Amino acid sequence: MKETNNTDKFKFYTGLFTAKAVNHGLHVIKSAGTSLPGLIALKISKNFLSFLSKYCEKNIITVTGTNGKTTTAGLLAHILKINENTVLHNEKGANMLSGIASSLAVNYKPFTKFDYAVLESDEAYLTKLYDYLKANYLLVTNLFRDQLDRYGELDTTAKKIQEAISKNPALKLFINADDPMLSELGTENERIYFGFEDITYKNNIKESQAPPESVTCSCGKPLAYEKRFYAHIGHYYCESCSKSRPEPKYKAFAVIYDDYSEIYLKDNNGNEECFKTPLVGLYNAYNALAAIISAKELSISYEDIQKGLKTYKSVFGRAEKLKINNKNILIQLIKNPTGASEVLRTVNQNAAEKVLIIINDNYADGRDVSWLWDADFELLKDYPNNITVSGERAYDMAVRLKYAGVPAEKIEVKNDIKTAINHCINSIKENQQLIIMPTYTALLEMQKILK
């Protein structure tokens, strides 16, 4: 490592140890202020992240996109750890600048080197992150409409990601080939594409009644599809110009079961590998595929990737399974129309005796909850039991369910989240299942309640 300015080094370690002390204090008082240590570290040392990155021996991988970035980053970090690497990772999903700084400050062992950093980044903050550190790789999962009051339309978000990419010409990209919104990213960079050739369902998945999303080609004409897997994800092409889905480096096939998925990879020589992930749903199969391809490109063995997938434990709220008083709880974060619709399609409602939906409208959730009307809650209209709604926008959710065809007498409104959770848990028997679908800040409140 090159000699650095002693003042910068002093500020870095002052910020680091102060952040660790603040984090310890937060644990003592049982506060969930995950970004505060990072805010303090950055205040003391504005070059905190760039200085810390000098201790990385191998690669810094950043992960962004609308849906799946927390799970994808978590899977990749876990796989790298299985391979006996030291990895820094913002595993709690705090993905803005201060949250990333907090995670690194808390987890970094002073005066030592580490092999990898796997950093999940909010799409809008990626360009700021790249002002402070130079990543080797960027993995982009997908782009969907999400929090229009924060991000604007999809092309605005894509431009923000491209702005970040342009700051680092040497950046290598892992890109979802099945998402046309990503096709213009990094045209000057090395790009490795991943995607599915075909999907087979062997489960009780419900068919969405929502109309497919329309995406326009850069030439102004609507895209056509040979295969559409969900929303605007699939094998697309333009009938008016030469634009089409790019060819992935590996041919991937998914088989989706109720409780797990199998992913088959075939290379150009005809060799086939099968990976199994306990995460449910097609959207999680995409997350697993992204992590698998990234790990393979980082020279991680098949055995370590498979072991990592098998032993990965979901981050709180991301298809997480809990056991409370011998009752099964499945928590699925929802935050935008496409993500919510896929959760509604893939959760096995027939196996759940109770459903709880918690909707907040804080800044991190997005103030505008009109997205509820674009999500396919019609999938719940035939659910046989009562559905409980809670949170700051519980009544908005109740109205949405009524218009989705859920009988009014089957909709229970309990504004207080703790009351709603206790009610739902008490209303089911041992070994029965409760599915909880919260927005982000509701999930944070749940974390305190269920500890």
pLDDT at 178: 98
pLDDT at 209: 62
pLDDT at 348: 66
Higher pLDDT, 69 or 211: 69
Catalytic entry in 368, 376, 396, 416: 368
Q: What pLDDT digit, counting tens, does each position of 413-440 carry?
A: 999 999 999 999 999 999 999 999 999 9
Angle (deg, nearest 10), helices 36-44 and 6-28? 160
pLDDT at 388: 98
pLDDT at 180: 96
Least trusted range by pLDDT, from 5-14, 157-166, 412-421: 5-14
Question: How would residue 36 be classed by pLDDT, with cut points 50, 70 and 90?
Answer: very high
pLDDT exceeds 60 at position 4: no
pLDDT at 207: 66
Cβ count within 10 A of residue 272: 11
Q: For 6-311, which CATH superfamily applies?
A: Mur-like, catalytic domain (3.40.1190.10)
Question: How would residue 147 be classed by pLDDT, with cut points 50, 70 and 90?
Answer: low
CATH of 318-450, one of 3.40.50.300, 3.20.20.70, 3.90.190.20, 3.40.50.880: 3.90.190.20
Give the domain ranges of the chain: 6-311, 318-450
Average pLDDT over residues 304-309: 98
CA distance 406 to 399: 10
pLDDT exceeds 60 at position 12: yes
Q: Which two tokens stand for residue 77?
A: 């970090």
pLDDT at 149: 46
Average pLDDT over residues 137-158: 78
pLDDT exceeds 50 at position 3: no
pLDDT exceeds 80 at position 40: yes
pLDDT exceeds 70 at position 32: no
Average pLDDT over residues 117-138: 95
pLDDT exceeds 80 at position 33: no
Mean model confidence pLDDT for the chain:
91
pLDDT at 208: 64
Tell me the pTM. Answer: 0.91
Q: What pLDDT digit, counting tens, does each position of 56-107 carry?
A: 999 999 999 999 999 999 999 999 999 999 999 998 778 889 999 999 999 9
pLDDT at 1: 44
pLDDT at 30: 73
198 is an active site residue: no
Average pLDDT over residues 17-30: 90
Question: How would residue 2 be classed by pLDDT, with cut points 50, 70 and 90?
Answer: very low
- Percent of the chain whose pLDDT exceeds 70: 95
